[in-house]
Amino acid sequence: MVYAGPSRGCSTCKKRRIKCDLSRPFCQNCSKRRLPCPGVPDPPGIQFRDETETVIQLFQGGAGANDKEGSGTAAAEDYEYPNAVVPNLGEDENFVSLCFFFHNYMMSGRGVQSSRGLFEHLIPYYQPTDPDSLISVATASLTATMLSMWRGRAPDSILSRRYYGRAIDLLKDTLKTPHGCQADTTLIAIIALQFREALIAHRKMAKVDGSHQRGAYAVVSYRKSKGFCDMASKRLLQEVRSTMVSEAIRTRQPVQIDPAVWEDDGPMPYNPASDLDQIAIDLANLQALFEQYKTTLQIAFAKGQRVLTAKDLSTIASFRRTAAAIDQRLQIWASAQYLFYSPFRLTADEIPESVRKAGLYGDFCNVYPTVQIAGVWHAYNSYRLLLVKMMLCADQTVRDTPREDDVLLSESEAWRKAAEETLQHGVDEICAAVPFHLGNRTDPGSIHELSNTADIEYPWPSPSRDPYSNPCSPGREYAREHNVIPLSGDERKRQNLCMGGYNILGPMAFVLGLAGEPLDLTGVQQRDPPPPILASLLRQDQIPWLAGQMRRALKLHRIRREQHPRGGGGGGGSKANHGPPNNRTPPLAESSKPAAAEKDDAGSGDVALDVVRVKKSMKYSFGV
């Protein structure tokens, strides 16, 4: 009798040694006799066969006997069994993305002197957690997004969405308890989820969703500033405050000062960037009042007003005085920083030739100790540009508009010249930072560049002139107290590859958008000549060069944007070319428009659209 394997019947029939009819859910034998039937077991999903060496030889012998041209011995010698052992079980994508994220984004260039973002705060809270906690799942969603972007795929990958859904469920459950609302890990997880949304919007050049950011504001308001006790917790509070200020400046709204959020019981961690935020609060409130008055004045002129009244002149003068006072505070902040925290200027002969060919405006560039600290200085220069724009706009309006009783309250020519030089200097500083962020890269790279940076060059001072690796005596003491560790050459390159273009796109878009704004408060367009725009006060080639560099940065980061008909819309560059005649000083260098960055001048009509999209996608990012 042939053995057909073990019985597949229920255990009751096996004990009674009778044949089971294999009925489901209960066999008929047990039902007829009213016996408890556990049911027929399911067949195993995988059945292993005993393929020993003897079985293999028998199989090969049978195959050789049927083969007239071969022999059993030869077949046995040529036998291969490639599927006997799986080569590997595959890599855990979550583990790979976490290693990639921590190695390239978290482990270098992070310190309390630049702690205004997610990366500086994540490590202290992430290490002691378990893999199924809220912060771990939220971080996994972010890291999966980053790795997918570096692999050239869609940022919202399947793995990222899976972890994102789990994080949302965990976040909902956590926020149901008072303890969960008070936990630092809840706030840092919300910030991580918002950063993921910002990355996806940045890659797609779409408007970023601010639901998580508003959730972070709500959590901070619930906890109040008294709920942030230790230094790590207070740095989290500083980061959320910084985002509040940046958002207010971007949207031209005042900062809502809630005493529960902004009043501190004890000392806060020292951070130059947080000191800059305190000045930026007054800037945001002044800008909101300025925009409100501008709208009111334009409505009045649209209804028939033809002259500036005495009240208008007094209001405009107060705007100029307040802007000048805030600008003076910004300059005091800049002069108080240590040398190793400040930008370091390199001349053209100190910059690698490949970097100069890729994009260098003028004959110098600035380098910074880290990309994060560079972002602080970009915010500083952008704040000064906003202030000088308000002052020049007010002065130009008084000069060009009839005044009641012909009262002249415009500034002197010496003041006007100094203000225009401040404007030019601020734009020069943004242009001088482009080589530091983009280096000699002109084409999109791959993830393999992070492990082999030999062919990538960035400007950096020689060892004898390096103020960051060899700080002076007061700076060395500060660096020791705040655990500031200089970066190696490879770490600097990887940091710029990861975040360099992302950190310079916002300032470039800000300058290009600012350059197209008219120097007029009344909104009256029927003038001869028409009111000038801000770009008319800059060098004629500067805005087109900056537009080309922004297209280069978008290309390097593989930003996907919709294609529009050529010439459909004027950007900052086109406005600069059609402005009033420019008698400013000539360009600083003859090679101000490198071929690598300016070979697509015909696409300058898309600059305005790119600027708007970059601003929308970076609404909650650092700076302006």
How confident is the chain (624 residues) per 10-residue block, as mean pLDDT? 71 87 85 85 64 66 52 44 49 85 75 62 73 91 91 87 94 93 92 90 84 91 85 85 91 89 82 90 96 94 89 92 96 89 92 93 92 91 96 90 69 87 95 95 86 89 81 61 70 87 90 91 74 90 93 82 44 38 38 42 63 78 54
* Model-wide pTM > 0.95: no
Residue 1: predicted pLDDT: 55
Residue 359: closest CA among 542, 576, 570, 605? 542
Domain span at residue 422 reads 268-340+359-457+489-617
**Please, which contacts does 413-422 make with residues 24 or more away whose CB atoms are closer than 8 Å?**
416/392, 419/388, 419/391, 419/392, 419/395, 420/392, 420/537, 422/327, 422/384, 422/388
Q: What is the pLDDT of residues 55-99, one digit of tens each?
A: 667 666 655 555 544 444 444 444 344 444 444 556 788 888 888
Residue 63: predicted pLDDT: 53
How many CB atoms neighbour CB 232 within 10 A? 16
57 in any annotated domain: no
Residue 472: predicted pLDDT: 64
Please tell me the distance from the alpha carbon of residue 78 to that of residue 64, in angstroms, as a whole number: 11
CA angle at residue 90 from 87 to 91, to 5 degrees? 140
Structural domains of the chain, count? 2
With residue 279 as reference, give the H or E element that holds it: helix 272-302
Residue 616: closest CA among 145, 209, 146, 190? 209
Q: What contacts 527, CB < 8 A, 6 or more positions away?
A: 400
- Kindly report the backbone phi and psi dihedral angles of residue 296, in degrees, each rounded to the nearest multiple of 5, phi listed first: -60, -45
**Please, which contacts does 15-23 make with residues 24 or more away whose CB atoms are closer than 8 Å?**
none
- Kindly report the backbone phi and psi dihedral angles of residue 8, in degrees, each rounded to the nearest multiple of 5, phi listed first: -105, 10
121 in any annotated domain: no
444 in any annotated domain: yes
185 in any annotated domain: no
6 in any annotated domain: yes
Assigned token pair, 156: 């919202």
Task: Sort 311 into a burial class: Cβ within 10 Å, 0-12 / 13-18 / 19+.
Answer: exposed
- DSSP state for residue 467 in the 8-state scheme: T
567 in any annotated domain: yes
Assigned token pair, 81: 């069994």
Task: Sort 248 into a burial class: Cβ within 10 Å, 0-12 / 13-18 / 19+.
Answer: buried
Please tell me the distance from the alpha carbon of residue 86 to that of residue 557, in angstroms, as a whole number: 38
How many CB atoms neighbour CB 470 within 10 A? 13
540 in any annotated domain: yes
| Contact (Cβ atoms closer than 8 angstroms) between residue 570 and residue 610 | no
- DSSP state for residue 590 in the 8-state scheme: S
Residue 325: predicted pLDDT: 97
| Contact (Cβ atoms closer than 8 angstroms) between residue 361 and residue 432 | yes
Largest separation between any pair of C-alpha atoms in the chain? 123
4 in any annotated domain: yes
CATH of the domain at 7: 4.10.240.10
